[in-house]
Amino acid sequence: MLKAGVNTSEEENRKELSSLIRIAIGATDPYTETCVMKRQPNTRSDKILRGAMRTITDGEIYPMPSPIDDPTTLSEIADALKKAGYGHN
């Protein structure tokens, strides 16, 4: 998450995140894509959110998890993943 008042382009954010991930887990990992989101869903359990995002990425119909504060954020994630080439049936 970016600090308030920091203005960088989406491309700069992607490059920096990619670099940080390569440093943390190594260049041999098949990490290839970053989707920059304006906001993220708030939940009490990230496990539920990860499951919903995995379902979206697999292109399956996903049930709306009840602990998500704003359900429209999952739709935004689904749209971003489709633009990145994921989530097609």
Alpha carbon 17 to its chain's center: 12
Statement: residue 88 has pLDDT above 70:
no
pTM: 0.63
29 lies in the same domain as 45: no
What is the tens place of the pLDDT at every residue in 29-57? Answer: 677 777 877 787 777 777 777 888 888 88
Domain that holds residue 88: 38-89
The Cα 68–Cα 41 span in angstroms is 6
Alpha carbon 37 to its chain's center: 7
Angle formed at CA 60 by CA 51 and CA 18, multiple of 5 degrees: 55
86 lies in the same domain as 44: yes
Domain count, the chain: 2
Helical axes 46-57 vs 72-83, angle rounded to 10°: 40
* 56-73: average pLDDT: 81
